Amino acid sequence: MRMTRLVTFEDLAEGAVFWGEEIVADADAMVDYARRYDPWPFHVDAEAAKETPFGGLVASAGYTFSLWCQSVHTIIRTPGTEWAFLGGYELHVKLLQPVRPGDRLRLKLSIGSKRRSSRAGRGHVDSVHVLMRQDDMAVFSVELALLMATRTPA
């Protein structure tokens, strides 16, 4: 049976940086998502998108957010390791650059300040998540306040 190491509030050091696995913005998945949830021409029609200020097909914010979610899991839920994540409660999302079909993205997750909660068994962690494109350009960021379980209740 495989043992899973639990990463708790105490294990996260202020200033620590974690990198997610590379993910690719898939053209078909982008368009499928946009057709269902965000059908602007620059999200669903490559030819029409050429005539927009974007000059080509770009991912919707929702699809980009889903890539971020996918990438977070490559850090906090890997074979052999799982963070004692209790939930995020405040998000500040920024769309910094368009995400285009074929973009290779990697998440940089940085731990900011931390403090124990007034409720036993949990701590608050401020974090900054940045999706970086293959050319090292930041395309999407999330400032996320999250709750983590502690090893000790006090």
CA dist list (Å): 35 to 8, 42, 49, 91, 127: 40, 11, 14, 26, 32
Residue 152's pLDDT is: 84
Residue 153's pLDDT is: 73
Residue 1's pLDDT is: 56
pLDDT tens digits for the chain (154 residues)? Answer: 567 899 999 999 999 999 999 999 999 999 999 999 999 999 999 999 999 999 999 999 999 999 999 999 999 999 999 999 999 999 999 999 999 999 999 999 999 999 999 999 999 999 999 999 999 999 999 999 999 999 987 6
Q: Could you please state the CATH topology (level 3) that the domain comprising 5-149 is classified under.
A: Thiol Ester Dehydrase; Chain A (3.10.129)
For residues 17 and 108, the answer to whether their CB atoms sit within 8 Å is: yes
